[in-house]
Amino acid sequence: MSLVEVTGLTVEFGSLRAVDGLSFSLAEGAALALVGESGSGKSTVAGALLGLHRGTGARVSGSVRVAGTDVQAAPDEELRRLRGAKAAMVFQDPLSSLDPYYAIGDQIAEVHRVHTRVSRRTARARAVEVLERVGIPDAVRRSRSRPHEFSGGMRQRALIAMALACEPDLLIADEPTTALDVTVQAQILDLLHTLREETGMGLLLVTHDVGVAAESVDDILVMRHGTAVEHGPVGRVLAAPAQPYTRELLDAVPRVDARRTGSRATDEAVLEATGLRREFGRGSRTFAAVDDVSVTVRRGETLGVVGESGSGKTTLGRMLVGLLEPTAGAIRYEGRPHTGVNPAVQMVFQDPVSSLNPRRSVGESIADPLRARGTERDEQRIRGRVTELLERVGLEGAHYDRYPHEFSGGQRQRIGIARALAAEPRVIVCDEPVSALDVTTQAQVVELLGELQRELGLALVFIAHDLAVVRQVSDRVAVMRRGRIVEYGPADEVYDSPREPYTRQLLAAVPALDPELAARRRAARREPAVA
Amino acid sequence: MNALTGFVLRRVIGAVVTLFALSVIIYVVFYVTPGNVAQITCGPRCSPVQVHQVAQQLHLDDPLYVRYWHFLQGLFVGQDFSTGTSVEHCSAPCLGQSYQTDQQVTGIILTRLPVSFSLVLGAMVIWLLLGVGTGVLSAWRRGRFSERALTALTLAGVATPVFVIGLVLMIVVCGELQLLPFPEYVNFTDDPEQWAWNLLLPWLSLALIESANFARLTRASMLETLADDHIRTFRAYGVGERAIIARHALRGATASVIALNAVTFGSAVGGAVLTETLFGLPGVGQELVHAVKVVDLPVVVGMVLVVGFFVVLANAVADVLYAVADRRVVLA
């Protein structure tokens, strides 16, 4: 009997059909990835496996059997016994998925006691045991920590520990590594792999990242609009996709070995930063987010800045734009020292939702920089210019009077780009411009930026944590770690023959699209740990 | 521990500055307020000569800074007062002497404060139990009929003035049913049982009103927590709805309840005038209102400082509790 048996599953939220007649099964101990872009219904399926849509007003039809329980028909009590004990779920955001007020060990113990008739003390001991199992050092002491005292990777380990507490037959992981840095992601994926080898539990992995799936599962199911597009062994689907959509999806995935093409980089420096340092906090709590960083941005080129969270990328970007005052160091624009905000250096922000004012029409938002400059006062001409900009970034002039919520994520990011262009900048600093977007949308936005760069001779600073995206767009790359630049040079050199061990470590952690390569890399990652 | 010491120190300094600022403001306000203080103090039938005497005796003709200087002197080294016939010494910390009764302000406060405290502390226990209880219940029964009824009830509670509830309670409980005698304040030290029985109605009327705010706040922040991701985690692990409400959602509401409680407590010590007046409780609020009416400056300043002190104290205690309740909060 298979562990999971889903037949004709349909989930509707009001008039929206999130999942539409999906069927699949998972054998005991097997691993399946549900892959798709946002809105494809993959997380809804994961929730349906545990009956999490019950009582939310969603209409669920079809049949779902998990570890012998008919999830649709089971009474609440039986469903509670399934949840956590037979099938446990690991969520995407490890910070918000744990109760901030209780010690991590207590939360794991609470879950354990729901399913077993053991004493508080035994449950607590079990919590320490599973925390140790997922590689939390000094687990006895750390089990008394609250979630905020853990790093992102440790929190995700703690959530996995919670899932292990009752030795489930099935682990459902919903985007378990999306919020994590690439090296931490590799560790978590390795951990999941090892746990599966040892416990023989089944894995249902929900992810938007084909690379993550390639690393972790046997079978892959590509979803789109709530239906299955393609389903098969991961090696076959990734190497020889049968469906056009799968191919499209795979083509959009940035490859870490793909060079930049069509660059018109010059040697003419536009923006130079020397010895930049920025401190935060006061007194003994002072720390330098950016420390002694010098970079040059040349006309027509893209300077990629990669690094993990907390490496100081964003702080550097904000200093380049003039949104943050450097504690030390200087910025020169076209050879002259410059302090404060410079209209010729604009910024595109990561989150296209929160970086647009929800109460103003997008046209007004784009018109802001025009009005701020004060050179143009004629409303008719401002409107004309905004219409032009909207069209330039691939939207319609008629969108002027619409509000941000009427647009998709990719469209909002286009609006953000139009706003940056309004000031006619020479340099645009893009801070994680595509990390909130699906891969196909990501590819379109990256392409738009490249077009604008060639057309307008713009210099771009492209800040991102995704090494593959950075490679694809950059002429030169700066690798940041703990506020400093550890490696800085032409993109091809940095990626193909990295000098620094840290750069090598980063590159080795990037998920490979080829399952065999992924397995070799995993083996390679294990070795130094033994040594 | 170190963080706590620093916190206490900063709070003490902050409190001292706040209280001094308060005293200066009151002196200035009373100085610029029109009206003949000496005439009011002396009474309507005083002759101009008598009024002049009173003014001299109370230093009412001195410039503002001299009078404030006297006040500071009294506070730190003590002061002598002439009552016309004899001279009384008031040792530091001396808040002065009532214009009206020649009583020392410290003495007045010491007789009034226990009354207000008795009222507010008792009421606090009830408003917390009742308010948080109602809040939890309506968060649990959200969307159902019982929750709507509770919400309507708490809304009515917020909207009802204390003298309506208090009067109704008194008429029904003491008048019609004769379950309790009409309240009359008894000192706790004299007879604890009588103290409690007599305060029961004042407690209830003050607490019923305040508990409505607590119910609304508890409900709102619990519902907010219930929408959080970590609640989904515990549901997905088979934790029952009751445990989720009692352990996780309620815990999320504690911080805001603590904050509201501090503000409510602090302001009720000096601000429960209506309740005090209605039940004839000789508390701080009642005395303060009376003192303002007759421009009894020393009493007003003394009372305001004491009330201000409790507001500051309540907030500092709340901050410490806040940090205890939520370890992410750093005392600063």
Domain limits, chain B: 2-105, 106-325
**A residues 101-130 closer than 8 Å to B (CB):** 101-102, 110-111, 114-115
Q: What is the CATH number of the domain that holds A260?
A: 3.40.50.300
What pLDDT was estimated at residue B95? 82
- Cβ within 8 Å, pair A81-B238: yes
Residue of B236, B243, B247 lying closest to A83 (CB–CB): B236
User: In chain B, what residues touch A148 (CB-CB under 8 Å)?
Assistant: 327-328
Instruction: Name A305's bridge partners.
Output: A463, A478
What pLDDT was estimated at residue B252? 86
- Cβ within 8 Å, pair A97-B229: yes
Residue ending a domain, among A204, A237, A252, is: A252
Chain B residues interacting with chain A (CB cutoff of 8 angstroms): 228-230, 232-240, 243, 247-248, 251-252, 254, 325-328
What pLDDT was estimated at residue A527? 66
What pLDDT was estimated at residue B215? 92
Q: What is the pLDDT of residues B57-84, one digit of tens each?
A: 777 778 888 888 888 888 888 877 766 6
If asked whether residues A335 and A307 sit together in one domain, one would say yes
Q: What is the pLDDT of residues A198-212, one digit of tens each?
A: 999 999 999 998 989
Task: Give the residue on B whose Cα is nearest the Cα of A150.
Answer: B328
Cβ A165 vs Cβ A112: under 8 Å: yes
If asked whether residues A264 and A333 sit together in one domain, one would say yes
A155 interfaces chain B, CB cutoff of 8 Å: no
Alpha helices in A303-377 (DSSP H): 313-321, 362-373
If asked whether residues A178 and A60 sit together in one domain, one would say yes
Q: What is the pLDDT of residues B85-129, one digit of tens each?
A: 777 777 777 888 888 887 888 888 888 889 998 999 999 999 999
- Length, in residues, of chain B: 332
Tokens of B89: 């010494």
Q: State pTM to two decimals.
A: 0.80
What pLDDT was estimated at residue B73? 84
Residue A383 within any structural domain of the chain = yes
A96 interfaces chain B, CB cutoff of 8 Å: yes
- Tell me, letter by letter, the H, E, C secondary structure of A147-175: HHHCCHHHHHHHHHHHHHCCCCCEEEEEC
Q: Average pLDDT of chain B?
A: 85
Residue linked to tokens 């409107």: A383
Instruction: Give the gyration radius of chain A's Cα atoms.
Output: 25
Instruction: Name A208's bridge partners.
Output: none
Residue A528 within any structural domain of the chain = no
Q: What is the pLDDT of residues B164-196, one digit of tens each?
A: 888 888 888 888 888 887 888 888 888 888 888
ipTM here: 0.79
- CA-based nearest residue to A181, from A443, A498, A464, A409: A464
If asked whether residues A392 and A338 sit together in one domain, one would say no
Q: Whole domain around residue A109: which residue ranges? A: 92-167
Q: Which residues of B84-118 are buried (b: 16+ CB within 10 A; e: fewer)?
A: eeeeeebeeebbbbbbbeeebbbebbeebbbbbeb
A383 interfaces chain B, CB cutoff of 8 Å: no
Residue B43: is its pLDDT beyond 70? yes
Q: What three-state secondary structure class fits A485?
A: strand
A282 interfaces chain B, CB cutoff of 8 Å: no
Task: Give the residue on A whose Cα is nearest the Cα of B328.
Answer: A148
User: In chain B, what residues touch A50 (CB-CB under 8 Å)?
Assistant: 236
What pLDDT was estimated at residue B84? 64
What stretch of H or E contains A451? helix A439-456
If asked whether residues A359 and A407 sit together in one domain, one would say yes
Q: What is the mean pLDDT of residues B291-306?
A: 85
Residue A336 within any structural domain of the chain = yes
Count Cβ–Cβ pairs < 8 Å, chain A vs chain B: 76
If asked whether residues A117 and A208 sit together in one domain, one would say no
Residue ending a domain, among A119, A136, A167, is: A167
Residue A461: is its pLDDT beyond 90? yes
Those residues whose C-beta lies under 8 Å from the C-beta of residue A281, and which sit 6 or more positions away, are A287
Residue A147 within any structural domain of the chain = yes
Residue of A52, A100, A162 lying closest to B328 (CB–CB): A100
Please classify residue A73 by burial: count the beta carbons closer than 10 Å to its beta carbon, then call 0-12 exposed, 13-18 middle and 19+ buried.
exposed
- Integer Cα distance of A494 and A471 in angstroms: 9
A85 interfaces chain B, CB cutoff of 8 Å: yes
Share of chain B residues as helix, strand and coil, in percent rounded to the nearest 5:
75, 5, 25
Residue A273 within any structural domain of the chain = yes
If asked whether residues A289 and A242 sit together in one domain, one would say no
Tell which wins on pLDDT, A423 or A283. A423
- Cβ within 8 Å, pair B230-A98: yes
Tokens of A497: 């023959």
What pLDDT was estimated at residue A260? 84
Residue linked to tokens 């208090």: B166
If asked whether residues A103 and A4 sit together in one domain, one would say no
If asked whether residues A205 and A235 sit together in one domain, one would say yes
Tokens of A218: 């046997």
If asked whether residues A286 and A156 sit together in one domain, one would say no
Residue A450 within any structural domain of the chain = no
What pLDDT was estimated at residue A296? 95
Q: What is the pLDDT of residues A89-128, one digit of tens each?
A: 998 877 889 998 899 999 999 999 999 989 999 999 999 9
Residue A530 within any structural domain of the chain = no
Quick one: B106-325 is in which CATH superfamily?
MetI-like (1.10.3720.10)
CB atoms within 10 A of CB B48: 10
If asked whether residues A486 and A409 sit together in one domain, one would say no
Residue ending a domain, among A134, A167, A200, is: A167
Number of domains in chain A: 4
- Cβ within 8 Å, pair A101-B229: no
Tell which wins on pLDDT, A11 or B176. A11
Amino acid at B174: C
Residue A182: is its pLDDT beyond 90? no
- Integer Cα distance of A110 and A93 in angstroms: 20
Residue A522 within any structural domain of the chain = no
User: In chain A, what residues touch B237 (CB-CB under 8 Å)?
Assistant: 83-84, 88-89, 111, 114, 162
What pLDDT was estimated at residue A11? 95
- Cβ within 8 Å, pair A91-B229: yes
If asked whether residues A284 and A398 sit together in one domain, one would say no
What pLDDT was estimated at residue A531? 39
Residue A70: is its pLDDT beyond 90? yes
Lowest mean pLDDT among A394-408, B151-165, B242-256: B151-165
